[in-house]
Chains A and B, each alone.
Chain A
């Protein structure tokens, strides 16, 4: 039973560029959430997708957007990258949007230079 998988594992981008990160949820899960974990900090909630719609959003600017596909996989897009966007981006999946228990992927390490 595959867990949550994310790609790529590492990424280096230049300021101003755009990036797309990908996530496949755990088998049987239909809800995907994205988190940003800056160095030395706990993960911070970006947004959650369920039924291909953004259901809840954290305190992140519109430069952060996402998408969920019919197979429940998801993408996180970040436009106009800033140095401060450098972080580990975590994807979590759950069975249903109201389920508090989530399973996390290993993350994508994004470095903006």
Chain B
């Protein structure tokens, strides 16, 4: 399995600010995925980050709120913009694995 790190591991932020979460993988991958896990809920796919092209967003998620960068095959960032308390969640990145996907440790975000 790949080794995935995320920074920060957790943060507490004020309403109206933005936070950028980093995801680093130890091998080159064509696709990286960003998920949100709200308290007590399961995982919901936000978007697929493709190197060299814009991210593909799922229904209910928009680029203005969750801009994503994918500068190379081992790194991606997800920004949570203009945060509100409803954005308090765990944000996870994942990469394809055989089979399925392998998940990073997650970033626990609390918005006050």
Q: Indicate whether A and B interact.
A: no
